[in-house]
């Protein structure tokens, strides 16, 4: 399933630090494969990893304000929290699925358990 963590509104020129996000992903999945060749607007940087829930992939929009995740919900929630930690507090971040059957605000400091509860409350 595809999920997104995306800045809602004008990011004011901010974009995620790609190296910091790669480092965060490596903490969880040491064997992550990183593809840095620009494939498209949506796939400017790609991380591929194997998890307890199966293979996963995350890819960054070229503007650095949207992380797409083809992964289990559990892994996508972890990735969304990691992305939030690298996003300035004043920016609104939304976590949703690719079909937009739910979308929730992801405030700074949200834990994985809190995000699961938010998703379950609207899903």
Higher pLDDT, 24 or 1: 24
DSSP secondary structure letters along 11-74? -TT----HHHHHHHHHHH-TT-EEE-S--SSS-SEEEEEEETTEEEEEEE-TTSSEEEEES-HH
The band of 95, judged by pLDDT with boundaries at 50, 70 and 90, is: very high
Mean pLDDT of 74-90: 97
pTM here?
Answer: 0.94
Q: What pLDDT does 57 receive?
A: 97
Task: Give the least confident one: 9-18, 38-47, 65-74, 88-97.
Answer: 38-47
In b/e form, how buried is each residue of 17-43, taking b as 16+ CB within 10 angstroms?
eeeebeebbeeebeebeeeeeeeeeeb
Q: Could you tell me the residue range of the domain that residue 117 belongs to?
A: 2-122
What CATH number is given to the structural domain containing 91? 3.30.310
Question: For residue 71, with 0-12 CB atoms within 10 Å meaning exposed, 13-18 middle and 19 or more buried, which class applies?
Answer: buried
pLDDT for 43: 87
Tell me the average pLDDT of the chain: 94
Q: By the 8 A CB rule, do 71 and 53 touch?
A: yes
Q: So what's the pLDDT on residue 123?
A: 65
Domains: count for the chain: 1
- Please report which confidence band the pLDDT of residue 91 belongs to, taking 50, 70 and 90 as the band edges: very high
Could you tell me what percent of the chain has a pLDDT over 70? 99
């Amino acid at each position: 399933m595809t999920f997104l963590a995306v800045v809602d509104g004008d990011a004011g020129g901010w974009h995620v630090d790609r190296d910091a996000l790669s480092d965060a992903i490596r903490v969880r999945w040491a064997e992550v494969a990183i593809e840095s060749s620009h494939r498209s607007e949506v796939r400017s940087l790609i991380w591929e990893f194997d998890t307890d829930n199966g293979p996963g992939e995350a890819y960054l929009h070229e503007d650095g304000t949207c992380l797409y995740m083809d992964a289990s919900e559990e892994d996508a929630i972890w990735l969304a929290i990691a992305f939030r930690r690298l996003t300035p507090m004043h920016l609104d971040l939304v976590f949703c699925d690719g079909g937009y059957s739910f979308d929730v605000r992801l405030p700074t400091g949200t834990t994985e358990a809190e995000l699961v509860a938010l998703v379950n409350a609207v899903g």
